[in-house]
Amino acid sequence: MIVIAVVLLMTAFLHFLPAWTRPDLFFAVTVDPYFRASGEARRITRLYRIVLWNCMLLAIALSVLTKRQEFVLLSIAGYYCGTAVAHRRALAHAVPGDSAVEVNLGAPREALPGGPVAMLVPLAALGVLAAWVSWNWSRIPERLAVHWGVHGPDRWIARTPHSIYGMIAQDGALSLVFILIGMGIFYWSRRLTGSAARSAAAEQNRFRRLNVQIFFVLASLPAAYAWIIVLQPPAPGAWLAGVALLVAGFYYAVLIRNRPRFTARSSDSTPNSCWKLGIFYFNPADPAVFVLQRFGIGYTLNFASGWAWAGFAMLAATISLRVVLR
């Protein structure tokens, strides 16, 4: 039931996503701000939502019938397919964007939001947990549930140094990935400068700093997971789901409330042709590693950057480590 609830909430969020983008952007295509009110725009949005909800229903049905959670990935596939179809149809209504934007990746110098303390708190929490484990080894159960499926716990680890400390190390690596993403957004994202786009630059910079702070908060999620697994409170699966939903809800609520609302074309000079399927940004001529998403809320990678693929390699290594050690 927890998995189904998460899928339903995610699909509901994606259902309203087209309404949360700027008026001059429609499924990652620059359009006339008044196009959204047209019948063609409504038809494109309806098609996107039909694909999204049908894939969600299929994902839930297959997950329940087969008792395999892997089928929930079909709901994500529905989002990508629906966005790609809508993006292709929206391209027929594209208007030229303004590419005259001053961008400076090196100035001005700013202090990292929260400072070093914000980055170190999740890692320090895992260090404290490792010390607590060593002092209270006999109090830890012989077997710990580490994963919950549709029908309850379905994966456990034994109380061995390899398993316990390995889990803490894995969660530390995942926390570090979140911290590095936050630092990447802060140091390697597009920054607007110049008097022509002063208001847009101020709003975008505020939103960028907010994203950095949120990723530092997300870095605490793996630490919370490790503490819950080791302490094994009553109904740990519900605890984990509750913490995950609380953090996810906080993340999206803050981003939606504080999303940039500027409409000046000078606030986005990324070409339509560089947004593949309306989701993936690929521009070798752009030095930025992170750019504002055109369809969605927050930042996305410039997949033409080698640093982006280095980050993916680090994330893949972290996930592989979890699979091998579990």
Q: Among 34, 54, 322, which residue's Cα sits nearest to residue 177?
A: 322
- Point out the least confidently predicted range of 25-29, 112-116, 250-254, 315-319: 250-254
CB-count burial class (<10 Å; 0-12, 13-18, 19+) for 297: buried
Give the residue extent of every domain in the chain: 1-96, 105-326
Span 181-208, average pLDDT: 73
3-state secondary structure at position 99: coil
Q: Among 277, 321, 295, 314, which residue's Cα sits nearest to residue 184?
A: 314
pLDDT band, residue 43 (cuts 50/70/90): very high
Q: What is the torsion angle, in degrees rounded to the nearest 10, for the CA atoms of residue 36, residue 37, residue 40 and residue 44?
A: 50
- Whole-number pLDDT of residue 48: 96
Type and span of the H or E element at 153: strand 152-158
pLDDT band, residue 295 (cuts 50/70/90): confident
- Whole-number pLDDT of residue 130: 92
Asked if the model's pLDDT at residue 192 lies above 70, the reply is no
d(CA 213, CA 251): 10
Give the single-character DSSP code of 40: H
Q: Is the pTM of this model over 0.85?
A: no
Q: Which residue has the tokens 């725009």?
A: 41
Strand ranges (DSSP E) for 22-62?
25-26, 29-30
CB-count burial class (<10 Å; 0-12, 13-18, 19+) for 44: buried
d(CA 198, CA 84): 33
Strand ranges (DSSP E) for 68-179?
102-103, 143-149, 152-158
pLDDT digits (tens, 9 = 90+) for 226-256: 888 888 777 655 556 566 666 666 655 655 5
Asked if the model's pLDDT at residue 312 lies above 70, the reply is yes
How many CB atoms are closer than 10 A to CB 161?
A: 10
> Regarding predicted confidence, which is higher, 16 or 316?
16
Span 84-111, average pLDDT: 73
- Whole-number pLDDT of residue 98: 57
- Whole-number pLDDT of residue 266: 46
